[in-house]
Structure 1
């Protein structure tokens, strides 16, 4: 199927009107049987071509039908159908074959003029017809080139979208399930190590592991809900902080924000909270979100042990990529023993 699907029916209609008028008005000799039959066969060929991927036979049959219609047309308008040959060849075989075929079509018109109108080179009307045909050929090839590039652009866009979706899923796995499952694994190892030394510690580790598993399940359910219903940042943050020593405050209006933007803010908050509680041993963690008219700002602050810039891991790198994907920026300020302040700004 050619991207410019309307071109062939448009030319068929114009040729049918011109040839029919010429024949009925006595302006030219139109053999209606061959003329109409050839046009109908071209339409049938267009309808059948997408089902059978055999470009060479279809091109040969199309060329024969176009010559048949042109030979039985009294108006001479059917010559324009020759433009469909290099046009279709551009999509099936490429630019070089289309240009060569277009030059051949010009040569065919010149031969036809030589047979039907000897001395046509001295006829201004015939020369003008040839020049107009050549101009039409150039425009047709240009249209085919634009359509092919547009088609390639769509393919590249689809590939980029697929790659972006794969990266998003990878970040979701790390930011969500990855943290919870890591915690479950560590807590189970702790329970196993303290089973004989201190059963109470082992029991507490098992309880914490169950809680982390529950949170992992909740995270999966939240992701599924986000696919089925509108994502609400304030609700998601409230659920995330439930049962944790985290103070959450949401201000502004998140309506009108792209769900991808809100999800990026949520994942950034999740990463900041996880790092503060699990890695920084923070006693207090505050999360502040403000959704304004031009953009949203997230601030996650803790009083943990902090870290140096050289210690930044995959989690923060993935956060920066996610936020950058929605046009935002991440600022992390921390130092050993001075806590951490994570600021995320994204445009609306």
Structure 2
């Protein structure tokens, strides 16, 4: 495949016009009689060359096959020869400069050099045949040197034009790739936005379940207790109402703390939150013990919040579903990981199918998702053989440096 010789479209018409003007001027000022037929043929040849340019540009585009491009070059050479024969001034020899120029554009640097050498050889042969001892005549030697210099300039201009054309083609390719990359990035950005939205929905759902859901469950339990003991044990009923009121207040406080954390990023204390949770869950039928070891300083707020939500979920399951009377909560802050262990003496997860470790309960699933997002893990033992007096053991471990800090809120 060859490119059409139109990378510098203004060069051939300018040269044709200059040759036509030079030949016409020579015919007008020459002392010899004017041969009108010869002059008309000379002018007609140049007009045909001028008309060939727009026809070529209109009918042929980049990527023209080598055959048509070679045919066009041959037509030019024939017209150049006819014009040169009919020109009495000799100016038309400059037209042959376009032969290597056109060949370089259409077929490459090697073709341009070969045709340029051929033109010089043809001129030397012509001088040798028709001009005896031309090499000792300054005018002919000067013409040959000027022609060679014009060929060198034409080939240089063709090389520049080809490089410019290739650079434009590369630039167009790069722009096309950039446009495609931009479209891909737009698609990726849209997908990331969709994933971020889905992740935020899941986070909010977990937050509502772990915080408000826990307190609403506690309120329901305490109100059921108050209803059951209203006649038989007024003091227990009053305490249950008081605990329900505390749970409602705590739910409101946690909502406010969550909003405040989004604004001010206030530090969260897991030790204080666990102590508060254990103290208000205890009553005459449930004992909650708390054992804290180590220092929570240095742990990410997301990790501490995940452990607190896990404790809420485990305590709710043990109290409401497992009907435990004793729950042990142990939190240990190590140098590389923090561990929370909640042990109860209830009926285990067998009493609550929706909350079983392998089940589809939202609480357990949400707990696992929250912890796994931080690079931690959740282990649940249901009535382990090694500890038959216990109902279930929930162990949650999170690393000191979470994989996705802040993902779980």
Q: Please, what TM-score do these two structures have when normalized by structure 1?
A: 0.58
Q: Which runs of 5+ in 1 are unaligned?
A: 1-106, 111-116
Deviation at 1:329, TM superposition (A): 1.3
Deviation at 1:200, TM superposition (A): 5.2
The yes-or-no answer on 1:297 pairing with 2:349 is no
CA distance, structure 2, for counterparts of residue 293 and residue 230 of structure 1: 20
* Among candidates 318, 321, 330, match of residue 279 of structure 1: 321
The question of whether the paired residues in 1 share the 8 Å contact of 2:378 and 2:397 is answered with: yes
Q: Please, what TM-score do these two structures have when normalized by structure 2?
A: 0.50
CA distance, structure 1, for counterparts of residue 225 and residue 325 of structure 2: 22
CA distance, structure 1, for counterparts of residue 174 and residue 213 of structure 2: 56
Q: Which residue of 2 aligns with 1:138?
A: 173
What SS is found at the alignment partner of 1:230? coil
Structure-2 change in CA distance of 1:233 and 1:193 (3 Å): closer
Q: Which residue of 2 aligns with 1:344?
A: 396
Q: Which residue of 2 aligns with 1:212?
A: 247
The yes-or-no answer on 1:180 pairing with 2:180 is no
The question of whether the paired residues in 2 share the 8 Å contact of 1:305 and 1:337 is answered with: no
The question of whether the paired residues in 2 share the 8 Å contact of 1:306 and 1:337 is answered with: no
Q: Which runs of 5+ in 2 are unaligned?
A: 1-60, 65-97, 107-111, 113-157, 402-409
CA distance, structure 2, for counterparts of residue 214 and residue 184 of structure 1: 10
CA distance, structure 2, for counterparts of residue 334 and residue 261 of structure 1: 25
The question of whether the paired residues in 1 share the 8 Å contact of 2:343 and 2:390 is answered with: no
Deviation at 1:276, TM superposition (A): 2.3
Post-superposition CA distance 1:210-268 (Å, at most 9, x none): 23223323332443343331223223223322333433333334344332222111111
What SS is found at the alignment partner of 2:325? coil
* Among candidates 234, 239, 244, match of residue 276 of structure 2: 239
Q: Which residue of 2 aligns with 1:45?
A: none
CA distance, structure 2, for counterparts of residue 248 and residue 193 of structure 1: 29
Post-superposition CA distance 1:7-27 (Å, at most 9, x none): xxxxxxxxxxxxxxxxxxxxx
CA distance, structure 2, for counterparts of residue 189 and residue 125 of structure 1: 92
Deviation at 1:152, TM superposition (A): 2.8
CA distance, structure 2, for counterparts of residue 338 and residue 233 of structure 1: 25
Q: How many residues align?
A: 237
RMSD of aligned alpha carbons: 3.2
* Among candidates 138, 163, 167, match of residue 128 of structure 1: 163
Post-superposition CA distance 1:140-170 (Å, at most 9, x none): 2222323332333233222212211211111
The question of whether the paired residues in 1 share the 8 Å contact of 2:333 and 2:339 is answered with: yes
Structure-2 change in CA distance of 1:247 and 1:337 (3 Å): closer
* Among candidates 317, 331, 344, match of residue 365 of structure 2: 317
Deviation at 1:127, TM superposition (A): 1.7
The question of whether the paired residues in 1 share the 8 Å contact of 2:327 and 2:343 is answered with: yes
